[in-house]
Amino acid sequence: MKMDGRFILLSLVVFVILSSALAFAGTGLSTTDCVKVMEELKDLIVRNFFYLTLFGFIIGAMGGFFGVGGGFLMVPMLNVIFGIPYNVAVGSDLGQMAGMSASATVRHMKFGNIDFKLGILMIVGTAMGVEVGAQVLQALKHVGVVEIASKQVNIMDLVMSLVYILLLIFLGQGMIRESIRTMKRQAGRVDLKAAEAPASGVVLRLRTIKLPPMVSLPASGIECISLWVILGIGFATGFLSGMLGVGGGFIRMPALVYIIGCPTVVAVGTDLFEIMFSAGYGVITHALKGNVNLVLVLALLVGTTIGAQVGASFTRKAGGPRVRLGFGVLAFVGVVMVVLKLCLKLLG
Amino acid sequence: MNILDFLSELSGNTMCPDWSPSVSYVVMAVALPVCFGVFVAVALRLIEKVFGVELGHGRH
């Protein structure tokens, strides 16, 4: 997916949504209310343990099949299908992600395709981003409700739904465009150079920033790059992890390849290394804020672990750009579900 | 008390303003997924060796 003006536009829209939400802040839950809400939530998760495991299996299978983490579908669907608050869904999904990435890192270790210098430098930006993202979610958790069309709507639900709608549209259209381009290229209908042009103007400008300190990355074959570019990429993906509970690979992978200039195999290994740290740090900071439900983490872990193996075995049989096209369509199905839930809340 | 009740109790009423995290809750939040992940990776490697099959490697 190209890193261009669409991403900057998306960031601006998200910033406006967040600012408006904090400006319209209402009142939070009282202690009596929150004890009742928490008891209901814990009961809901324990009662639906089997279905949550099954849900984890489906997301894990799709993730394994399409070759992605699936976090960007996991969190909104936990809210839409099971009614789990976004903050608990994000914290628990990061727990599930920490387990999955620990498993994947142990399995990938034998390949040794990790640029440790790049990974460690990026961790600094990633940790800062995760913390800022988690703090934003924490602020949203406590702002309470707002009245829209004489209906009391939780501001966190509203903001997170809107942000997820934008994110899923951004990812879905990117995947669909990419897969169609690949299919056309395979059919020989598109000029190879034009189809493979990886970098837009913004990307090229980022790549040539000469703001000191400059660092070299011998393992990736990069002689000189500004440290601020590495920290910036880490911060952006860390922010997404901390606030939305996604791995951020859909930003980090193209950024590592197109902006930093890593070989793809090194980008894959380093991305995995980063996910392990962002999810690990994310689960700690969200646990300290009370956003991790251990029963939900266990259900998702069991489901996604089995599902990922099943999904991966099917990829070997299917494969190709059509798989990516399918995932793009699935992202739009996710958008429809989130929009429907939001409309029902506002109209129902 | 089964494992689900134990984990549920450990989670506590996390949404309340007066809630503060216990050490066991934070340690369990990190240890549970990491230990589970490493256990799965080792188990999958073992299955591959014993049955001579190649299973998925996780993400990517």
Bridge-partner residues for A215, per DSSP?
A: A225
Q: What is the pLDDT of residues A16-47, one digit of tens each?
A: 666 665 555 555 555 567 777 777 888 888 88
Specify the higher pLDDT residue, A345 or B23: B23
pLDDT reported for residue B1: 59
pLDDT at A194 over 60: no
Calculate helix-pair angle for B23-51, B3-11, nearest 10 degrees: 140
- Tokens for A303? 């489901």
The span from the CA of A43 to the CA of A37, in Å, is: 10
CB within 8 Å: A63 and B59: yes
**pLDDT at residue A2 greater than cutoff 70:** no
Residue B23: closest C-alpha in chain A? A288
Tell whether ipTM is more than 0.85: yes
* Residue A195 binned pLDDT confidence (cut-offs 50, 70, 90): very low
pLDDT band at B53 (very low <50, low <70, confident <90, very high): confident
* CB < 8 Å from A in window 3-32 of B: 3-5, 7-8, 10-19, 21, 25-26, 28-30, 32
Residue A191 confidence (pLDDT) above 60: no
Q: Which of B11, B13, B60 has the CB atom closest to A294's CB atom?
A: B11
3-class state of residue A89 by DSSP: helix
Q: Which of residues 29-68 of A touch B (CB under 8 A)?
A: 29, 31, 34-35, 37-39, 41-42, 45-46, 49, 63-64, 67-68
Chain B positions touching A285 (Cβ under 8 A) are none
Determine the pLDDT at residue A260: 79
pLDDT at A1: 46
Note the pLDDT of residue A132.
92
Question: What secondary structure letter does DSSP report for A318?
Answer: S
The residue among A146 and A127 whose pLDDT is bigger is: A127
The nearest alpha carbon in chain A to B9 belongs to A42
Structure tokens, A327: 């995932």
Q: What is the pLDDT of residue A11?
A: 65
Tell how many helices (H) and how many strands (E) occur in chain A.
Answer: 14, 4
What region, left, alpha or beta, does residue A42 occupy, with left being phi > 0 and alpha being psi -120 to 50 degrees?
Answer: alpha
- C-alpha to C-alpha distance for A5 and A63, rounded to whole angstroms: 27
Which of A268, A305, A313 is the closest to B40 by Cβ?
A305
The span from the CA of A90 to the CA of A71, in Å, is: 9
**pLDDT confidence of residue A53:** 92
Question: What is the Cα–Cα distance from A261 to A254, expressed in whole angstroms?
Answer: 9
Which of these, A224, A284, A220, lies nearest to A257 by C-alpha position?
A220
The whole-angstrom separation of Cα A171 and Cα A259 is 19
pLDDT band at A189 (very low <50, low <70, confident <90, very high): low
The Cα of A247 is separated from the nearest Cα of chain B by a number of Å equal to 10
Q: Does pLDDT of A196 surpass 50? A: no
**Would the CB atoms of A290 and B14 count as touching at under 8 Å?**
yes
Q: Is residue A241 scored above 80 in pLDDT? A: yes
Residue A192 pLDDT > 50, yes or no? no
A contacts of B4 (beta carbons < 8 Å): 46, 49, 295, 298
Asked if B6 and A75 touch (Cβ cutoff 8 Å), the reply is: no
Which residue on chain A is closest to B45 by alpha carbon?
A107
Give the pLDDT of residue A284.
92
